[in-house]
Structure 1
Amino acid sequence: MESTSVLLLLPIVLLIILLSVIKKERPLKARNPPGPRGLPIIGNLHQLKQPLHEYFWQLSKKYGPLFYMKLGSRPVLVANSSRMAQEILKTQDLIFCSRPKLLAFKKLSYEFFDIALAPYGEYWRDMRKVCVLHLLSAKRVHSFRPIREDEVSRMIQKISQKASSFETVNLSEMIVFLTSTTICRVAFGKRYEQGSGESVRFNHLIHEFQAALSCFYWTDYIPLIGWVDKIMGKIDNLDKIFNEWDMFYQQLIDEHLDPNRTKTTDDDVIDILLQLREEGSGSSFRLNVNHIKAILGNVYFASADTISTTMVWAMTALIKNPKAMKKAQEEIRALTTLREKQMVEEEDIEAAGLPYLNAVIKEALRMYTTLPLLLPRETMTTCTLDGFEIPAKTLVYMNVWAVGNDPLVWENPKDFMPERFLDDERKLSMDLKGHDFELMPFGVGRRGCPGITMALATMQLVLANLLYLFDWDLPNGMKKEDVDTEIFPGMTSHKKNPLCVVARKMY
C-alpha cells in the first residue's frame, strides 16, 4: 500500500479501534464457509499477500478447498479444488457466471460493452454470439493462418541472425513482440516494426492498461472512502489511460473508414465489425463505435498477453528440462513433411498431431497457469454451495493454479513432466476445452475463453519452429538451475525476468 495513503487511513484505523472496544462480539454466521478472521470495515484486506493464487492455496490447506473472506465490504469466495470448480463452473454455472462491476473493469470496457468483463445478461449473450460466429470461428481463425506464419518466419530470421553471430537472444522479448504484432495484424490490420516510434508508444499504452486493470481501488471495496482514489490520482490516471486508448482505437477505425485506404490482407477484425455495424449483427442491439472499441480491447488483451506468457513459460520449462526438450525436438524433426522446408507450417502440425508438443503446452499451462485466478466472477443470487449459504453479489475467485498443482490430483506437481499427459489414460484425453476440471487454463462454462482455437494454433506454430530450427543453450556458463521462475505480480503470471538464451541454427 502506498505510504501516502497512511494518513488518509488514520480515521479508519481509529474507527476500527473504537468499534472493537464498544461493540459486543457477534457470533460468526454458521452458514458461511470457514475462513480467516478479519477486522471491522477492512475485513481481510490487510492480510493479502502476493502472489495471490499461492496465498489462497496456503489458506486452503487450513480452511479447506472452499473458504470465505471479506475484502472491505465485499464478501469473497475462493475455490481451490476440481470438485468445487465443477460445482461452480458447471453445475451452478448460471448462478456464478456474472462479473463484478469493478471500477477499472467498468471504465476500460466502455461501461461493460465488451464480452470479457460485462455482467451476464441478454447483452452479453448476444455480444458473445457475435464474437464466436464472426471473429473466432474455426474458419475465421484458419483465415488468419498466413499472418501467423509470416510473423513466425520473421522471428526465425531475427533469431538466425543472432545465432550466426553467437549473440544472446532475449526470447521473452522475441515472443512478446511476435504475439503482439500478430494480434495487431489480425485485429487492426496494422504491423508495428520493433523499436519504431509507433511500437514504443503502443507498448507504453499496453503496460499502462495492464497496470490500471490490476491496480487496487478503494472504491471497489470500501465505497465510503472511494474519495481516497481521487486524492491519490488513481481516478485521473484511469481517465487518462482510457482516453489514450480511445484515441488509439478511433484512429484505427478512421483509417479503416477512409475510402482511399489500400488493403494489404483479407478482412481484419475492424473490417468485420464495421461491416456488421452496417449490415446488422442479428443481435438485439446495433453495433456502434464504442461496442467495436470494447471488443478490440478484448481481442488484443485476451489474446496477445496470455499466448505470449504461456510460450515464454513453456520454453523456460524446456530449458530447465533438457530431456523434455530433446523429446519434443526429436518428434518435430522426424516429420517427413518438413523435408526441403524452411519452417514448420500449420499443415505439418495438423497432419502429424505432435502429441508430445501438445503435452508440453498442457504441462506448461498446468504449472504456470497464465491467469491463475481466472477473471473474478460474481454470484447473481443467493445460493447453497457445499452446504454453505453464499450471498448474492459475492466475489468469486476460481484458483485454477491451485487445481493444477494439487498433489491429490497430480503426481509430483512441482515437476515438469509432459509424459503425464501421454502415459495416463485419464489425462491423455484432456483437451483444454473445458471438459476436464483438473486442467482448465481457458476457463469452463459460459465464461470459458472463446479464443482457445486461435491461442492453441499460435502456440503450436511458434513452439514447433523454435524447437525444429534451433538448439538452445544458456549464456555465460549458466546452468539450468540458474534459470529462475519468479512471477511478476499481476492478473497474468508474467515471468519476472526475461528468458535469455543462445540459439544454434540446425537447418
Structure 2
Amino acid sequence: MDSFVLYSLLSAVFLFFVFVILRKRHRVRLPPGPKPWPIIGNLPHMGPMPHQGLAAMAKVYGPLMHLRLGFVDVVVAASASVAAQFLKVHDSNFSSRPPNAGAKYVAYNYQDLVFAPYGPRWRLLRKISSVHLFSGKALDDFKHVRQEEIRVLVRALVNEKTKVNLGQLLNVCTVNALGRVMMGKRVFGDGRGGADPQADEFKSMVVELMQLAGVFNIGDFIPALEWLDLQGVQGKMKKLHQRFDRFLSGILEEHKIKAGEGDRKVKHTDLLSTLISLEDADGEGGKLTDTEIKALLLNMFTAGTDTSSSTVEWAMAELIRHPTIMARVRSELDSVVGQDRLVADLDLSNLTYFQAVIKETFRLHPSTPLSLPRMASDSCEINGYHIPKGATLLVDVWAIARDPNEWNEPLEFRPERFLPGGEKPNADVRGNDFEVIPFGAGRRICAGMSLGLRMVQLLTATLVHAFDWDLADGLLPEKLNMEEAFGLTLQRAAPLMVHPKPRLSQQAY
C-alpha cells in the first residue's frame, strides 16, 4: 500500500514539472493571479469560504483572475462586466461542466440536468423541466398548491407556543409544495406543517450535499491522487448517494405501482407521471431512463427546495434587523392585501417596495454565492487575456453583488437602491443584468428560476404580513448572528430562532 502511495505522489510531482515545462514553452498572456504552490497550485489560497477568498483576491489582482488548482486552469469572473463576457458574449463556449466528484458519485454519473454535458441529452432534460414544471402555464396551474402549503405553514406558526426554527419549517413547506407538484403528494408530515423527523433527516442530507459539493476536492484537480481520496470527500459522497437513491427509488417505485393500478389513459397530473410516460417515448435525445428520472428528482429536491427556504430565512433575518424597512413592507402589504386574508400570487406584482426588498436579499445573500463551474470548450480571448481550452470558469456572484464600483455602500441592506431614483431601479435578477445574478445567466441559468422567485416572494410576503416577529431568548435584533456557513449554497451559520405572533384578523388564518 505504501509503495502505491509513493508511486502516486512521485507521478504527481513528475506530471507537475512536465506541466510547468510545457507551459513555459508555450507562454501566453494569462489573466493575473497569485503565484501557485508546487503541485497543489492555488488551492491553499481559496480559504474556508471560497466565495469570500476569491473576492479578497480580486481586490488585489483584478476582476478577471487566473488560478491553477492542481493541474487545472481556473479563471474567475468577479465583476459584472467580466461575467457578461463569459456568460453572454462567450456563453456557447462555456456551456459544459468540468469533471467533478459530485457529479460522478452523487448525481448519477452526470445523468442529471445540472451536471449533464452540453448536448442533446441536456437539451432534452432542460426542455422537459421547462415545459412541464417551470413554464408560466405550469406555475399558474399549480399556484393553488403553493398557496395551500404556505397556509399549512401559517397555521402551524399560529399554533406554535414556543420558539421555532424558522428555516426548518420553511424547508418542510418548500419540499412539500414541490412534492405535490412533482408527485401529487406531500413528502413529509401530516399536513399540519410542524417539524417532522423525516424532514429533518432530508434537510440534513441536502445540507451535507451542499457542503460536500462546496469542497475543492483535490482529486478533481490532481487526477493521479483521486484514488487516495485524501479529504474523504468521495467516500462521504458515495454514502450520501446511497441514502438519496433509497429515498428517490422508493418514490419512483411507489408512483409506478399506483400508476399501474389506475387508468393509464388518465391525464398526467404531476411531473413524475409525465417523466415515467416519457420512458416509452422517443424525444430529441432519446428515451428517458429510471436513472435519469431519479437524477432529475435529485436536482429538483436539492437545488429547488433548500435554496428557496434559505433565501426566505435570510430575508426575514434582514427585515427583523431593520424594523423601519419591515414596517414599510408591512404597510404596503396591509394597503394592497388588507388584514382579512393572506397574500396571494396576484398581489405580488402590486408590491413595489416589497419586490425591492426581495431583490436586495438576492443581492446580499445569493443562494449560490459561487456559480457552479463551467468549462471552456475551446480557447478564447477575454479582455485581452488568453483563456485556455479546458479551463474551469468560476463566477463569484457574491463578489459581484458587493462590488463597490457597482453599488453604493454595498454591505448595507438598502432596498431603495432598486426603486425609481435609486442606483439600479431597473435591475433584474433573471440573468439579464450582471450586477446581480443569483440564478446565474446564459444557457445554464438555473432551470427553476421562475418557481424559485415565486416561492421566495410568496413565502416572505406571507410571513411579514401575517406575523409580528421576536427573536428567541430575548436576543436584540442588532445582535443577530448574520455569519455565513460553508457550502455550495449560502446557509446561515446559526439558524433563525423566532417567536411568531399573529397580527391579522382571525378569519385570515
TM over 0.5: yes
Q: CA deviation at 1:273?
A: 0.9
Q: Which residue of 1 aligns with 2:42?
A: 44
Q: Which residue of 2 aligns with 1:174?
A: 169
Give me the whole-angstrom Cα distance separating, in 2, the residues matched to 1:339 and 1:241.
45
Q: Which residue of 1 aligns with 2:351?
A: 354
Correspondence list, 1:86-105, <5 A: 86-105=84-103
Q: Which residue of 1 aligns with 2:459?
A: 462
Segments of 5+ residues of structure 2 without an aligned counterpart are: 505-509
Q: CA deviation at 1:274?
A: 1.3
* Seq. identity, %: 33
- Deviations 1:257-279, CA, capped at 9 Å, x for gaps: 1133699x972221121123334
Q: 1:13 to 1:326 in 2, by over 3 A?
A: farther
Give me the whole-angstrom Cα distance separating, in 2, the residues matched to 1:284 and 1:483.
50
Q: 1:104 to 1:300 in 2, by over 3 A?
A: same
Q: CA deviation at 1:125?
A: 2.1
What is the CA RMSD across the aligned residues, in angstroms? 2.9
Give me the whole-angstrom Cα distance separating, in 1, the residues matched to 2:43 and 2:288.
40
Q: Which residue of 2 aligns with 1:289?
A: 290
Paired letter, 2:303? A
- Deviations 1:284-324, CA, capped at 9 Å, x for gaps: 31111111111111112221011111111111111111111
Correspondence list, 1:68-467, <5 A: 68-162=66-160, 165=161, 167-191=162-186, 192-193=188-189, 194-196=194-196, 198-229=198-229, 234-258=233-257, 259-260=260-261, 267-280=269-282, 282-335=283-336, 337-338=337-338, 340-341=340-341, 343-350=342-349, 353-424=350-421, 427-467=424-464
Secondary structure of the 1:78 match is: strand
Instruction: After superposing the two structures, state which structure 1 stretch, 149-158 or 252-261, moved more.
Output: 252-261
Say whether the 8 Å CA contact 1:16–1:39 is kept in structure 2.
Answer: no
Q: CA deviation at 1:481?
A: 1.7
Q: CA deviation at 1:146?
A: 1.8
Q: CA deviation at 1:450?
A: 2.1
Instruction: Say which of 67, 75, 86 aligns to 2:65.
Output: 67
Q: TM-score, normalised by structure 2?
A: 0.89
Give me the whole-angstrom Cα distance separating, in 2, the residues matched to 1:124 and 1:14.
35
Segments of 5+ residues of structure 1 without an aligned counterpart are: none
Q: CA deviation at 1:484?
A: 1.1
Say whether the 8 Å CA contact 1:101–1:119 is kept in structure 2.
Answer: no
Secondary structure of the 1:77 match is: strand
- Deviations 1:336-377, CA, capped at 9 Å, x for gaps: x54532x22223334xx2111111110011011111111111
Say whether the 8 Å CA contact 2:317–2:496 is kept in structure 1.
Answer: yes
How many pairs are equivalent?
Answer: 490
Q: 1:234 to 1:90 in 2, by over 3 A?
A: closer
Secondary structure of the 1:488 match is: coil
Give me the whole-angstrom Cα distance separating, in 2, the residues matched to 1:261 and 1:484.
52
Give me the whole-angstrom Cα distance separating, in 2, the residues matched to 1:48 and 1:114.
28
Give me the whole-angstrom Cα distance separating, in 1, the residues matched to 2:40 and 2:125.
36
Say whether the 8 Å CA contact 2:12–2:225 is kept in structure 1.
Answer: no
Say whether the 8 Å CA contact 2:8–2:224 is kept in structure 1.
Answer: no
Q: 1:173 to 1:201 in 2, by over 3 A?
A: closer
Q: 1:27 to 1:316 in 2, by over 3 A?
A: farther
Q: TM-score, normalised by structure 1?
A: 0.89
- Deviations 1:95-137, CA, capped at 9 Å, x for gaps: 1221111122123222222221112122212321222122211
Give me the whole-angstrom Cα distance separating, in 2, the residues matched to 1:426 and 1:15.
50
